[in-house]
Amino acid sequence: MIDNKVVSALLPVKAFSRRVENKNIRHLGQYTLLERKILQLQKSKFIDRVYVGSDSDEILKVAEDFGALPIKRDAKACNESQASANLMIKDFVNRVDTDIAVWAHVTNPFVYEEHYDQAIEAFNVAEDYDSLVSLTEIQSHMWNKHFFPINFNPYAEKHPFASECDSYYYQNGAIFIQELDNFKSNSYFYGNKPRSFVLDEMVAYDINTPEEFEIAEQLQSYMDKLHGFSKT
């Protein structure tokens, strides 16, 4: 809770994963991706409850065992090949009760409680914004899809260092925050005036492929120790 507003995390977890078999219930260290994300969210000082929405009874049982609130969702709304992101969001947000909703993903295993707390605080004081979206900075020599430089002149008298180039940012999918009513009305991750919240590339690391899972296995012990992550 923050400023007398109930804060809930919404964690969509589908049964089927196209590229990594059983990804969401696969172990990364001591816990599965689902279990560690529930624990990370529960350790937040602002998050009152964690909703896990899934079409899988197995996943919902794990969620309940770890103290999350299970929400059974339609299989179609959990299948990205059959439903748009808007439909998936609309289906989930209309099944929960809260003031502020924090949309998170199990595939970002190194986003810890301090990052959620910082994001919630940033959203709460953002008077001129209606939502929050997490981004990651890229500061390098960037080229567009036509293979032309876009933030530096390679023919300038002095070649710029990467640190002198303008930064670009990409949406990392780790944290989205809105009031629940806004989620319901726009059926999207953020509104018309989102506030940016920058996460380091390592923190926002996203698992989508078997190779990325193997890399995460190498990072897990270091990242957990760095951020003091444990069940207690």
Range of the domain at 145: 7-226
Dmax over Cα atoms in the chain, in whole Å? 63
Residue 68 covered by a domain: yes
β-pairing, 100-104 vs 131-138, is unpaired
**What are the E-state strand segments in 20-164?**
27-28, 31-32, 49-54, 69-72, 100-104, 131-138
Residue 1 covered by a domain: no
Structural domain tally of the chain? 1
Give pLDDT tens digits for 199-223. Answer: 999 999 999 999 999 999 999 999 9
State the DSSP code for 76.
Answer: G
Residue 231 covered by a domain: no
**CA gap 122, 230 in Å, rounded:** 25
Q: Is the pTM of this model over 0.95?
A: no
- Range of weakest confidence among 82-96, 109-123, 141-155, 187-201: 82-96
Element containing residue 36 per DSSP (H, E): helix 33-42
Residue 107 covered by a domain: yes
Residue 232 covered by a domain: no
| Burial (Cβ within 10 Å: 0-12, 13-18, ≥19) of residue 126 | middle
Give pLDDT tens digits for 71-106. Answer: 998 877 777 777 788 989 999 999 999 999 999 999
Residue 215 covered by a domain: yes
* Amino acid identity for residue 166 in this structure: D
CATH of the domain at 214: 3.90.550.10
